[in-house]
Structure 1
Amino acid sequence: MLYLIAEQLGFPGILNLIRYLSFRAGGAVATALLIGLIIGPKFIGWLRVRQGKGQPIRTDGPQTHLAKRGTPTMGGLMILTSVTLSLLLWMDLSNMFVWACLFVTLGFGAIGFLDDYDKVRKASHKGVSGKVRLAGEFVIAGLASWMIISQVGTHLYVPFINYPPLDLGWFYIVFAAFTIVAFGNAVNLTDGLDGLATFPVIIASLAFMLIVYLVGNVKYAEYLGIPHIPGAGDLTILCGAMIGAGLAFLWFNAPPAAVFMGDTGSLALGGALGTIAVASQHEIVLGIIGGLFVVEAMSVIIQVFFYKRTGKRVFKMAPIHHHFEQMGWSEPTVVIRFWIISIVLALAGLSTLKLR
C-alpha cells in the first residue's frame, strides 16, 4: 500500500526510502511486531473466554503437559493478522510471488483454524480428518505452484553441483506442491512445546530473507551462481513480517505459555516457508535450513511405519521432541537445544549459496 502511494507520487523526499527492499523489510518486521504486541493481550483474553477449557491435552503424552490444560489455542490468528496487515502495508501490490505466498499462508491458516475449532468443540486432539486436510492443502499448494511456475519456469536447482538445473516439466507442480504441503505439516508436528516451533521459524525466515534478497538481485545472483528471479526480492517483506509476528507471538508463548499457536499458525507458517522456497527455487536448501522440522516429521513417519509392521516403537514417543522428554529432559532443555540446532542448520543452509 505504501509502495503504491509512494510510486504514484514519484517517491518524493523521504518517501524515496520506500524504493529500497531493506527499508520495507525492516518496516514489515517492526509493524508486525508492534501489531502483535498490541493485539496480543486482548486477543488471548478473548480466546480464553470463547474456548473455556482451551486446547485438549493428550493423556498419553508427557505428564508434565497436563498442567497446560486450559491454555487457549488458535494463537495463530494473531500471527496471521500481524503478517497480513504488515505485508499489505509494505509490499508491492503488483508482485505475483508475494500474492502466491499470502494465498498459501491464509489458505493453510484457514485449514488449521477448522482443525483447531473441531478439536476445541469436540474436546479431542484428533480434529479434522487427515485425508480432508491433505486434500485441501494440496489444492491450495497446487494453485500457488501454478502461479509461481508462470513466473519462474519448471527448473530444479541442486546445491553443491555446478551443472545446469534439472527441468522437471509439468511434474514440477507436483514437486512444488509436495514441498509446500510437507513443510507445512512438518512445522505443525514440531509445534508441541512452548516456543519450540516459533523460534526456528523465525530463524528460517531470517535465512530466507537473505536468500530471496540475493536471488532477486541480478549482480549477487550472478556472482554466487544462483538463479536470478526478478521480483523474488519482494519476498523479503513477507519474511520480515513473519519474523516480527513470530517475535510478538513468542512474547506470549514463552514458558509458561499464555496461548498456543495451534494448527492455525503452524500450518500457515510452514506453508509460507515452503512457498518462499519454491518461489526462490531453493527447495532443497529449505530441507537443510529447516532440517529440524524435517527430522520431527521423519520421526513420526518412522514411528508409524515400524509400529504398524512390527508392533514395536523406534522412539519412546513421537514426534522426537517428546522422545527426549520421556528420556528425562525438561521442556526448556529440549526447546533451547532444538533452537541451537535450528541456528546451526540455518548457517549450513546459507553456506550452500557459495558452494556450487
Structure 2
Amino acid sequence: MISILIAAAAGLLVSILLTPYLIRVFSRQGFGQEIREEGPQGHKSKRGTPTMGGVAIIIAMVVGYFVAHLISSFGGTGTGTGGPSASGLLVLFLAVGLGIVGFLDDFIKIRKQRNLGLNKTAKLVGQLVVTIVFAVLALRFPNGEGLTPASESLSYVRDLALITFPSVFFVVFCYIVISGWSNAVNFTDGLDGLAGGTAAMVLATYVVIAFWQTRLSCAVSPQAACYDVRDPLDLAVVAAAATGACVGFLWWNAAPAKIFMGDTGSLALGGLVAGLSMTTRTELLAIVIGGLFMVEMISVVAQIAVFRTTRRRLFRMAPFHHHFELAGWAETTVIIRFWLLSAICCMFGLGLFYSEQLGLGG
C-alpha cells in the first residue's frame, strides 16, 4: 500500500511542477495548437495554446513508478513484486510507445501548422508496431505459477475460458483493444480537462481493482473468489503513478487550459487503459469503467455511418461533446457533466467487479 501512495504522490509532484516549465518552453518554441475551422466558434481563442503536454504526464508516470520502487526498496516497505515487474514494465512500454506515436503526430501538426499530423496510415502503422511488441511479450515471462502478464482468453473480471484466441489472432485482438482505447481517449480530448479528468477517474478505479486483486491473489489466498493475475500490486503502482500524473497535469489543463495534452497524452493514456485491462483480466469490464471514452468513440463512428448512408448528420458535430456546445451549453457545463457521467461509469464498474467477487465468495 505504501508503494501505491508513493507512486501517486511522486507522479502528482513531478507533473504539477514539470507542466508549467513545459508551458514556458513550448510557448517560446511556438508549439501551439491548431483549431478545426468547423469547430465551435468559442474554440478559436484557443489557437496557439501550447500542446504536447502529454510529455509531462508520461514523464511523471514513469518517474512516479520508479521512485516508488526505489524508495520501497531502500525503505524496506516492499512492493510485493521484488522490484519492477514484467506486467508493470509492459504496460509502461505500451503507454510510452503510443505516446511517441502521438508526439510525432503533434510535432508534424506544429511544424506544418495544420490540424492534421500523421496521416491515418502512418498512425495506424505506429500503433501496430507497438501493439505487436506488446502482444508478443505479454504472453512471455511466466511467473512461478505459470501466469504471464496477459492471457489469450477474453476476460470480464477474470478470464473467460470459453473464448480463447490462437496466438496470431491474439495479436489482432490486442490491436483492436489498443487502437480502440487510444483512439477513444483521443476523441475525448476536445475540451479543457475532459480527457485528463476522465482518465484520472478510470486509472484511480484500476488502482482499487489491482489492489483488491492483490489482497485476493490465488498465489496468496487460494479460494473460489481469488484472482489469477500476474503482478497485481505492481499494476496498482503503475495506475497510481498515472493517476497522480493526470491530476497534476489537470491543474494546468482545466478550463481555461494553459496547455493541451495533445495526441502525445491521449494516445499514451488510451494505451495505458488498454494495457491495464488486459493485464488485470478486465477487458470487458473496462468498457463499463471507461464508458465515457467508449460513448465518445461510438458517437464518431455513428456520425460517419449515418452521414455516409443518409447524407444527414446524427449530431451537430462529433465527438458528441461538441454537439452540446453547438446546442448552446457552456464548455465548463459540458465538462463537469461529462465528468459526472464518467464518475458514474467508474462506480458502476467497481460495483460490477465487487459483485462478481461476492457471488463467487459468498
What's the TM-score once normalised by structure 1's chain length? 0.89
SS at match of 2:193: coil
Which residue matches 1:100? Answer: 90
- Offset at residue 106 of structure 1 (A): 1.0
Which residue matches 2:113? Answer: 123
Structure 1 runs of 4+ aligned residues shifted over 6 Å read none
Which residue matches 1:199? Answer: 197
Which residue matches 2:184? Answer: 186
Q: Superposed, which structure 2 residues align to 1:1-356 within 5 Å?
A: 22-51=1-30, 54-91=32-69, 93-150=83-140, 151=148, 152-158=150-156, 164-170=161-167, 171-217=169-215, 218=217, 225=225, 227-356=227-356
Provide, for residues 162-188 of structure 1, a one-character-per-residue CA deviation record: whole Å limited to 9, x for no partner: 974522232233212311221011001
CA distance in 1, matches of 2:86, 2:160: 28
CA distance in 1, matches of 2:241, 2:43: 31
Provide, for residues 297-329 of structure 1, a one-character-per-residue CA deviation record: whole Å limited to 9, x for no partner: 111111112212222111100001001111111
Q: Residue type matched to 1:314 in 2?
A: L
- Offset at residue 43 of structure 1 (A): 1.6
SS at match of 1:197: helix
CA distance in 2, matches of 1:224, 1:49: 59
User: Is the contact made by 1:141 and 1:177 (CA closer than 8 Å) also made in structure 2?
Assistant: yes
What's the TM-score once normalised by structure 2's chain length? 0.87
Structure 1 gap ranges (5+): 1-21
User: Is the contact made by 1:303 and 1:314 (CA closer than 8 Å) also made in structure 2?
Assistant: yes
Provide, for residues 74-97 of structure 1, a one-character-per-residue CA deviation record: whole Å limited to 9, x for no partner: 001111111111112224544111
- Offset at residue 41 of structure 1 (A): 1.9
- Offset at residue 142 of structure 1 (A): 2.3
Root mean square deviation of aligned Cα: 2.0
Q: Report the identity percentage.
A: 35
Which residue matches 1:11? Answer: none
Which residue matches 1:14? Answer: none
User: Is the contact made by 1:109 and 1:265 (CA closer than 8 Å) also made in structure 2?
Assistant: yes
CA distance in 2, matches of 1:203, 1:302: 26
Which residue matches 1:13? Answer: none
CA distance in 2, matches of 1:223, 1:333: 47
Q: 1:163 to 1:122 in 2, by over 3 A?
A: closer
- Offset at residue 155 of structure 1 (A): 1.8
Q: Residue type matched to 2:127 in 1?
A: E
CA distance in 1, matches of 2:250, 2:275: 23
User: Is the contact made by 1:157 and 1:282 (CA closer than 8 Å) also made in structure 2?
Assistant: yes
User: Is the contact made by 2:153 and 2:159 (CA closer than 8 Å) also made in structure 1?
Assistant: no
Q: 1:293 to 1:100 in 2, by over 3 A?
A: same
CA distance in 2, matches of 1:335, 1:188: 15
Of 333-342 and 219-228, more deviation after overlay is shown by 219-228
Q: Residue type matched to 1:83 in 2?
A: M
User: Is the contact made by 1:224 and 1:354 (CA closer than 8 Å) also made in structure 2?
Assistant: no
- Aligned residue pairs: how many? 333
Structure 2 gap ranges (5+): 70-81, 141-147, 357-362
User: Is the contact made by 1:36 and 1:82 (CA closer than 8 Å) also made in structure 2?
Assistant: yes
Q: 1:227 to 1:169 in 2, by over 3 A?
A: farther
SS at match of 1:260: coil
SS at match of 1:156: strand
- Offset at residue 214 of structure 1 (A): 2.4
